[in-house]
Structure 1
Amino acid sequence: MKLTHTLLTLAIASAAAYAPNAFAQSTELTIVGKILPGACNVALSEGGVADFGDIRSNSLEEDTSTMIGSKDLTMTVTCDSAVRFAMQGVDNTGDTSFVTNRYGLGRTADDEKIGSATIGLKAVTVDDASGFATTSYNQGETWSDSVVPGPAPIPRDGMIGFATTQGVTTGPDAVKSLQGTLEVKAYIAPTAGMTITGEVPIRGSATINVMYL
């Protein structure tokens, strides 16, 4: 009798395991990630502020943009060990740029776009050797030919990195340190489209993200 009970129990368990409706739904979990060789720190001189000072409205063009100057900041990226990385810009001002694909300078009190700015890297060295700029606009699947930056724009819709060899399309090399000059050029929109009855503060803001590859 005891043996029969055991066999019956096994038979029920087996039937349940193969019943088509026993488990109506299931899902699969995939666990992914990357172990990176080291972290990187990014630093900008002048506290990361490109100060263009006071601008007189009578020095600005009415019907075309006016470039109010260029400011250079020293940018350094220092990693614990050699790492492949690229940089991407984020415009923190939202939709305020007067020119597409540039960075915005904020809006006037009457919600008018003040202007735009370009941000680029030049005179780049990687591990004390010349750095050649290479860009990708498809999440790093393909890269442009590496060239001497003069300056190389930091894109908002792509990534820029640096190789140690000119003319390659293999993307950025793994480097431990990078140094270059961050050039910021600012342009004020035509004043005919702005209300300037008092002081108009320029409020440009951008974040440069270092992305590990």
Structure 2
Amino acid sequence: MKLTTTLLGLAMASAAAFAPHASAQSTDLIITGKILPGACNVALSNGGVADFGDIRSNSLETDTSTVLGPVDLTMTVTCDSAVRFAMQGVDNTGDTSFVANRYGLGRTDNDEKIGSATIGLKGVSVDSASGFATTSYNQGETWSESVTPNPSPIPRDGMIGFATTQGVTTGPDAVKDMQGTLEVKAYIAPTDGLTITGEVPLKGNATINVMYL
């Protein structure tokens, strides 16, 4: 659509240029794009559900957050061919996280934030070799030094990828297969700020996007 709109604009400018007593004008059109190699498929074990089970309210802290978990899921990324990619998290719960930059767990019936969650990757292998985490917070212009993920958070405001060499800042390497453990931790907000008169379900929901570089 952008190309069509631009070309239409150029045609109109060209017609005006040949009107009587008009001076000739010209402009350049630059066409850009990117042909990517193979597509990638992402899969999580247990249907992508991190289940923390039943949590007794009397086991929760009243004046500080209570840490639950971790719950581990296996994550695999399988590509048709070697591809440079990174991952970014999207919080589908809106503004429900009790702590900034974490993922939300929803709200109680009284509109109180239930808590927050962290999502990270550890034990990563890429094409049967060790994977070292590297992150970018400027759309891939620069990358952090690659380190062993222990775990490394999947950011909401950046991207995380994996290199096959430790200590480099060149960003993720092109890989065909990646496997790792997705670690999920939940943090329940202090109960003195929550209304718990019945069951309060955790309503965390996040999407992990694979971004081709």
Q: Same fold (TM over 0.5)?
A: yes
Structure with higher Rg: it is: 1
Structure 2: runs of 5 or more not aligned: 1-16
State the partner residue of 1:176: 176
State the partner residue of 2:138: 138
State the partner residue of 2:61: 61
Please state how far the C-alpha of 1:68 moved relative to its aligned partner: 1.8
Q: What is the distance in 2 between the residues matched to 1:27 and 1:58?
A: 71
State the partner residue of 1:98: 98
1:47 partner SS: helix
Letter in 1 for 2:146: S
Aligned pair count reads 197
2:53 partner SS: coil
Q: What is the distance in 2 between the residues matched to 1:109 and 1:130?
A: 45
State the partner residue of 2:14: none
State the partner residue of 1:121: 121
1:6-57, CA deviations, whole angstroms, 9 ceiling, x for partnerless residues?
A: xxxxxxxxx956732788xx87654322111110000000000000011010
State the partner residue of 1:10: none
Q: What is the distance in 1 between the residues matched to 2:19 and 2:97?
A: 63
Q: RMSD value over aligned CA atoms?
A: 1.8
Q: What is the distance in 2 between the residues matched to 1:16 and 1:187?
A: 68
State the partner residue of 1:84: 84
**Could you tell me the TM-score, scaled by structure 1's length?**
0.88
State the partner residue of 1:208: 208
2:58 partner SS: helix
State the partner residue of 2:13: none
2:143 partner SS: coil
Q: What is the distance in 1 between the residues matched to 2:108 and 2:33?
A: 44
Letter in 2 for 1:138: N
Q: What is the distance in 1 between the residues matched to 2:71 and 2:18?
A: 74
Structure 1: runs of 5 or more not aligned: 1-14
